Amino acid sequence: MFRRLKQILIGSPLETAALPEQRLSKKSALAVLASDNLSSTAYATEEILLALTAAAAVGMMIPIHYVVPLAGAIAILTAIVAVSYAQTMHAYPTGGGAYTVAKENLGVTPALAGGAALLLDYILTVAVSVAAGIAAITSAVPSLLPYRVQLCALAVTAILLVNLRGVRESAAVLAGPVYFFILSMFVLIVGGLVRYFQGAVAPPPPVEVHEVWGLAYVFLILRGFAHGCVALTGVEAVANGVRIFRLPVARNASITLYVMAGLLASMFLGTSFLASVYGFLPRTDETLLSQIGRAIYGAGPVYYAIQGATMAILILAANTSFTGFPRLASVVAQDRFLPRQLANLGDRLVFSNGMIFLAFVAIALLVLFGGDVHALIPLYMVGVFLAFTLSQAGMVVHWRRSREPGKGWRMAVNAVGAVATGLVLIVVTVVKFMEGAWMIIIALGVLMFVFRRIRDHYYVVGRELSLADYEKPEELRHTAVVPVPGSPNKMVLAAIEYARSISKDVIAIHINRDEVDREELQQQWHAWSPDVPLVVLDSPYRAITQPLMRFIDEIHNWRDEDVVTVVIPEFVTGRWWHHFLHNQTTAFLKVALLFKPHVVVTSVPHHLRR
Amino acid sequence: MFRRLKQILIGSPLETAALPEQRLSKKSALAVLASDNLSSTAYATEEILLALTAAAAVGMMIPIHYVVPLAGAIAILTAIVAVSYAQTMHAYPTGGGAYTVAKENLGVTPALAGGAALLLDYILTVAVSVAAGIAAITSAVPSLLPYRVQLCALAVTAILLVNLRGVRESAAVLAGPVYFFILSMFVLIVGGLVRYFQGAVAPPPPVEVHEVWGLAYVFLILRGFAHGCVALTGVEAVANGVRIFRLPVARNASITLYVMAGLLASMFLGTSFLASVYGFLPRTDETLLSQIGRAIYGAGPVYYAIQGATMAILILAANTSFTGFPRLASVVAQDRFLPRQLANLGDRLVFSNGMIFLAFVAIALLVLFGGDVHALIPLYMVGVFLAFTLSQAGMVVHWRRSREPGKGWRMAVNAVGAVATGLVLIVVTVVKFMEGAWMIIIALGVLMFVFRRIRDHYYVVGRELSLADYEKPEELRHTAVVPVPGSPNKMVLAAIEYARSISKDVIAIHINRDEVDREELQQQWHAWSPDVPLVVLDSPYRAITQPLMRFIDEIHNWRDEDVVTVVIPEFVTGRWWHHFLHNQTTAFLKVALLFKPHVVVTSVPHHLRR
């Protein structure tokens, strides 16, 4: 039944050989990888304005007219990052996330920092974007507000299921909303520009600007810049997910990356320009995008379509993480810094375990914060720019070592990228440190520590299991012990017969909890199983485990055997609820024996007909 | 660590031989068994008044002056039931609950009805009395109201822990509050009577009575009677718990029962008389007992002591169930109508499993109803009187068959008891049917069905395991199969060596998920383990379980072996969190193999040094 349900929800298993067919066209890949990045245009302009208007609170004039120059600067930064990542993909066509690039060129510690930063970002992206999307829905339908945590969990689960179906299926589901969002943003921007150039827009009231140049003012502008840099989150998704592109990978991925960066820059600049010329300011009860949309198209169908598309893209931004997180986790797990089950391809040729883990952690975060993860938004930009910087810096080293023709200008591009993103990293960390960036720094440290501990563990285990000093043992000698209830029955005798087939020394053990007649019991046993001795152990405290453990110790001391095999008769019931009527003692016994050295536990199942 | 915690919370294990020492004196037994019964005096009078004042709602005059006659009738009923149960204990000194008596004299179906009724009552008593006690606390400290479910769960857990410590320990904890409650009730009643006979109490305003004799009026009086019968709940606890008394059991238990009935009757009559002469009526914001207490002693220390004692006894009423439920469940489980683990004595010579189950179900009910279980109160009286009636009726049959001298008058006593409680059962069922008694009838039916199904299951299993048609099999032949990862290591070779020691036919199986070099793998294996063949099974869908299952089927078809033993190398990690780094595949494999007939699963543990 479970298998049937699984098949309906995520489809039949796919052959490993089908992996190449799972690769995507540029259009599909854009849908899968760009939703996180493009969705940030829904709020990046607003973030700049929010940072700038904070000036009002400290009595400074509001330098609102800086919004377009700041957006321009961020667009240029986007271009630098995109060109820079194109070089990375050229050099690492099998997937060049910050982790891989840093590991190959900078060493393990920077690689772990980059990997930790990206993994954290992916988790935070899921939590934040789903919460933002659900918040948009609950502000439209306030009666749903009490259920927002449940709705968030539902949305994460839905995205998880789509992704478990495989990359191609998720592309098919995502393409519609992503392209519809792009379309609706251009409808908004073009409509706004047309009205503006027709002169139909009242110019905003002139703002009197006291430009008090000073440190506070510089900090204010930097703050606007740092907040606006949220537009760059998700750019690295293409470079990390490069393996899902069709051949030639590097070319297809680069083109997609440039298209994405172009779309991002134009949408971001467009909305920033409109906000500036229409003179809109952030409001607590309505988003900036909604204000612009209503001003241009009125509260009609076009406006609602734009709002709907925005909500959808915010939720789907989480999808990018479902592509990125499991792939990165798999690479890190192959290097033994994460549990090895994260490295496995699932039924549908995606890294299912990583996806399930991501969904679980994201839902846990959403539950912990009651679905209100606004406080997390400032956090993840630190991780994003740390990954950018490590990745570009790694590329500089890569090109210096490389012998490829044209390595000079590629290195120059990456160096510009490294310096630019490194500066932004410093700005973002300083500006946002008190807002919560310090938490990210702690979390990164903890994750890096855990990575190293996991690898140490696997290393120690590997050395312990190594055959370097292996000597083939002499033939094993072992005694089989069969715990039996009071009188013999078919199930117990089957276990005894099995034990006799695996060892010459079989001992039946009865743990005496309620004063049985030893004489009679011995006679019964002798009648049914004459060549297996029965030992009756008294258990005045009615415990089962301890007397058996002590007896096993005695066998080890006395016979100097290599192994004691405990053969346990066990019921397998036909109906699941029958299970509660049996096996309670067995379960305890098995757990206890597992931890005892030189003991092997064997279950001889009795399959009940009913 | 778990064992240490357990020892602190519930104490060291007790020897079975210490069972007689766990028996209680009459004083201690009264504390353990009477709290449920005596606590009902805290609300029984109020219940009668509530039922009578309902008349006002339908325009009838309120026959408040009936409260004392009704309380008197219920006191007489208590006496009948007590005398009647004394005969039961005389005949069944090993514990004569409704279940045992009905089973021996009336047959299985009435016994199951009685058992189901009592088990339900015990569960409902825990839920209702804890909820009532916590409600008393939250009405004193309203800021605790949002946490009432948690407080209820905490109270149940505390009572559970005290009871898991054993009968003697729980008596020591309980004696204080129970005797303090009895004392405070007598202080209340005596104080009230003194003031009344000194003439210090203003007589209540005379009530003009239109005694419209008619069916509605009769029903009203019966309703008052039925509601007041809540005072009798818990009387059966002494008869069910008779085994905890010191020898001579029947005599000690009878004396305790009479003392309890005497205390109940005098406290109940006392409060009813005071309510009547002081002219108090039920109020939604204050209990009747609180009104009486404040009128007599003012809102001073005596009043608060009485209120505190009442709260404590309401919560401790749940304790009686923790004595009764597990004992009854153990008797029913010995007859195979309940899972057999409920029959076991735990570490501290109490039926721990039954107690834990009771606490679990009660907490589940409390959570389900949000800690507001007022609606459940009318329900459980149906069960109580069903059990009374079955028990007494069974005793009538018992004495008719008996040859004991004096059986005549004993039978007469039980017959009077049976008729009286039977009549009350009819009244209670009719009066309370629409209030929810129908739910109890459904629940009883379901429980009786489940009892029978459980016994049927054990019966079928017993027949299946019976040795009546047993033929000793020829020597078992079996093949051992060892699933191995890619290249050999110490853990895998240890499993191979073990397999070689238990079977002549050992096959190593590698499930090929990622296109290994078969040639190289075969060579590696041959070098380390030349006499064990390695079979490589391709798994294009990356599944582990299915290819192994198919291979086992092939062995069965091809070699006609009796059993295939699957020897699984398994990690046992030193630290619990290391477990997540290993064994994921192993766990899936073990579950899948458990359900496959003719397969025995053997875990060969590798104990990691770190």
pLDDT value at A460 more than 90: no
Q: Residues B579-586: what's their mean pLDDT? A: 71
Mention every residue, 6+ apart, whose C-beta is less than 8 A from residue B534. B484, B507, B508, B509, B510, B521, B522, B525, B526
Distance from CA of A226 to the nearest CA of B (A): 39
What sign does the dihedral B67-B70-B76-B77 (CA atoms) show? negative
Cross-chain residue pair A581–B478, CB shorter than 8 Å: no
Encoding tokens for residue A502? 């695996």
Taking alpha carbons only, the member of A345, A367, A322, A313 closest to residue A162 is A322
Across A159-173, B51-65, B177-191, B202-216, least confident range: B202-216
Contact status of A602 with chain B (Cβ, < 8 Å): yes
Task: Give the span between the Cα atoms of A184 and B69, in whole angstroms.
Answer: 82
Task: Give the span between the Cα atoms of A160 and A331, in whole angstroms.
Answer: 20
Contact status of A576 with chain B (Cβ, < 8 Å): no
Cross-chain residue pair A476–B572, CB shorter than 8 Å: no
Cross-chain residue pair A490–B603, CB shorter than 8 Å: no
pLDDT value at A371 more than 80: no
Chain A residues near residue B465 by CB distance under 8 angstroms:
489-491, 606
pLDDT tens for each residue of A255-266: 999 999 999 999
Q: Check residue B208 and give its pLDDT.
A: 53
Q: Using 50, 70 and 90 to split pLDDT, how confident is the model at A348?
A: low
Cross-chain residue pair B501–A475, CB shorter than 8 Å: yes
Residue in A465, A503, A604 closest to B491 by CB: A465
Q: Name the B residues in 325-384 with CB < 8 Å from any A CB.
A: 339-341, 344-347
Task: Give the span between the Cα atoms of B98 and B391, in whole angstroms.
Answer: 4
DSSP A47-70: HHHHHHHHHHHTTPPP-GGGHHHH
Task: Give the span between the Cα atoms of A524 and A484, in whole angstroms.
Answer: 13
Q: How far does CA B534 lie from the centroid of its chain?
A: 55
Contact status of B460 with chain A (Cβ, < 8 Å): yes
Task: Give the span between the Cα atoms of A263 and A185, in whole angstroms.
Answer: 10
Task: Give the span between the Cα atoms of B139 and B162, in whole angstroms.
Answer: 26
Contact B466, A489 (CB under 8 A): yes
Contact status of A7 with chain B (Cβ, < 8 Å): no
Q: Using 50, 70 and 90 to split pLDDT, how confident is the model at B27?
A: confident
Cross-chain residue pair A346–B542, CB shorter than 8 Å: yes
Cross-chain residue pair B594–A572, CB shorter than 8 Å: yes
Residue in A498, A541, A609 closest to B347 by CB: A541
Task: Give the span between the Cα atoms of B512 and B507, in whole angstroms.
Answer: 15
Percent of chain B past pLDDT 90, that is, above it, reads: 14
DSSP class of residue A234 equals T
Mention every residue, 6+ apart, whose C-beta is less than 8 A from residue A318. A36, A125, A126, A129, A130, A155, A156, A159, A362
Q: Check residue B59 and give its pLDDT.
A: 57
Q: Using 50, 70 and 90 to split pLDDT, how confident is the model at B205?
A: low
Q: Using 50, 70 and 90 to split pLDDT, how confident is the model at A447?
A: very high
Q: Check residue B300 and give its pLDDT.
A: 83
pLDDT tens for each residue of B426-477: 888 888 777 777 888 898 999 999 999 989 888 888 888 887 878 777 777 8
Q: Check residue A116 and give its pLDDT.
A: 92
Residue in A17, A515, A578 closest to B457 by CB: A578
Q: CA separation (Å) from A508 to A480, A498, A569, B273? A: 9, 12, 12, 69
Cross-chain residue pair B580–A476, CB shorter than 8 Å: no
Contact status of B19 with chain A (Cβ, < 8 Å): no
Across A56-60, A229-233, B307-311, least confident range: A56-60
**Sheet of strand B534-538: strand arrangement:** A534-538, A505-512, A478-484, A563-572, A599-607, B599-607, B563-572, B478-483, B505-512, B534-538
Cross-chain residue pair B541–A595, CB shorter than 8 Å: no
Average of per-residue pLDDT values in chain B: 83
Task: Give the span between the Cα atoms of A57 and A60, in whole angstroms.
Answer: 7
Cross-chain residue pair B464–A498, CB shorter than 8 Å: no
Chosen for mutation from B334, B513, B603, B609 (greatest number of chain A CBs closer than 10 Å) is B603
Residue in A346, A454, A594 closest to B572 by CB: A594
Contact A259, A30 (CB under 8 A): yes
Encoding tokens for residue A210? 């006291």
Cross-chain residue pair A16–B515, CB shorter than 8 Å: yes
Residue in A470, A478, A497 closest to B476 by CB: A497
Chosen for mutation from B1, B330, B493, B542 (greatest number of chain A CBs closer than 10 Å) is B542
Task: Give the span between the Cα atoms of A38 and A29, in whole angstroms.
Answer: 13
Task: Give the span between the Cα atoms of A515 and B442, in whole angstroms.
Answer: 41
Contact A432, A381 (CB under 8 A): yes
Encoding tokens for residue B110? 């009435």
Q: Check residue A61 and give its pLDDT.
A: 59
Distance from CA of B443 to the nearest CA of A (A): 19
Q: Name residue A603's beta-bridge partners.
A: A568, B601
Chain B residues near residue A584 by CB distance under 8 angstroms:
339, 341
Task: Give the span between the Cα atoms of B504 and A558, in whole angstroms.
Answer: 27
Contact B39, B321 (CB under 8 A): no
Q: CA separation (Å) from B496 to A591, B313, B480, B526, B533? A: 23, 64, 9, 13, 11
Q: How far does CA A5 lie from the centroid of its chain?
A: 24
pLDDT tens for each residue of B260-276: 999 999 999 999 999 88
Task: Give the span between the Cα atoms of B363 and B379, in whole angstroms.
Answer: 18
Q: CA separation (Å) from A601 to A559, A587, B358, B395? A: 19, 12, 33, 52
Distance from CA of A321 to the nearest CA of B (A): 23
pLDDT tens for each residue of A415-441: 988 998 899 898 888 887 777 778 888
Taking alpha carbons only, the member of B118, B387, B97 closest to residue B243 is B97
Across A72-76, B18-22, B593-597, least confident range: B18-22
Task: Give the span between the Cα atoms of A267 and A185, in whole angstroms.
Answer: 7
Q: Check residue A183 and give its pLDDT.
A: 93
Q: Name the B residues in 511-550 with CB < 8 Å from any A CB.
A: 513-515, 528, 540-543
Cross-chain residue pair B572–A565, CB shorter than 8 Å: no
Chain A residues near residue B334 by CB distance under 8 angstroms:
none
Which is higher by pLDDT, B610 or A237? A237
Q: How many helices (H) and strands (E) does chain A have?
A: 21, 5
Cross-chain residue pair B489–A465, CB shorter than 8 Å: yes
Cross-chain residue pair A541–B501, CB shorter than 8 Å: no
Q: Check residue B434 and give its pLDDT.
A: 75
pLDDT value at A38 more than 80: yes
Chosen for mutation from B461, B563, B564 (greatest number of chain A CBs closer than 10 Å) is B461
Residue in B339, B493, B607 closest to A581 by CB: B339
Identify the closest residue of chain A to B476 by CA–CA distance: A501
Q: Is A141 helix (H, G, I), strand (E, B) or coil?
A: coil
Distance from CA of B9 to the nearest CA of A (A): 18
Identify the closest residue of chain A to B502 by CA–CA distance: A502
Average of per-residue pLDDT values in chain A: 83
Contact status of B73 with chain A (Cβ, < 8 Å): no
Contact A552, A586 (CB under 8 A): no
Distance from CA of A257 to the nearest CA of B (A): 31
Taking alpha carbons only, the member of B398, B343, B428, B453 closest to residue B121 is B428
pLDDT tens for each residue of B303-353: 888 888 888 888 888 888 888 888 888 888 888 898 887 777 666 556 788
Contact A445, A413 (CB under 8 A): no
Task: Give the span between the Cα atoms of B532 and B555, in whole angstroms.
Answer: 16
Question: Rg of the Cα trace of chain B?
Answer: 32
Could you tell me how many CB contacts below 8 A there are between chain A and chain B? Answer: 178
Distance from CA of B504 to the nearest CA of A (A): 10
Q: Check residue A393 and give its pLDDT.
A: 92
Cross-chain residue pair A541–B572, CB shorter than 8 Å: no
Q: How many CB atoms lie within 10 A of CB B529?
A: 21
Q: Residues A471-475: what's their mean pLDDT? A: 77
Contact status of B15 with chain A (Cβ, < 8 Å): yes
Taking alpha carbons only, the member of A355, A356, A350 closest to residue A169 is A350
DSSP A372-395: --GGGHHHHHHHHHHHHHHHHHHH
Q: Name the A residues in 133-162 with CB < 8 Å from any B CB.
A: none
Q: Name the A residues in 469-488 with CB < 8 Å from any B CB.
A: 470, 473, 475-478, 488
Contact status of A433 with chain B (Cβ, < 8 Å): no
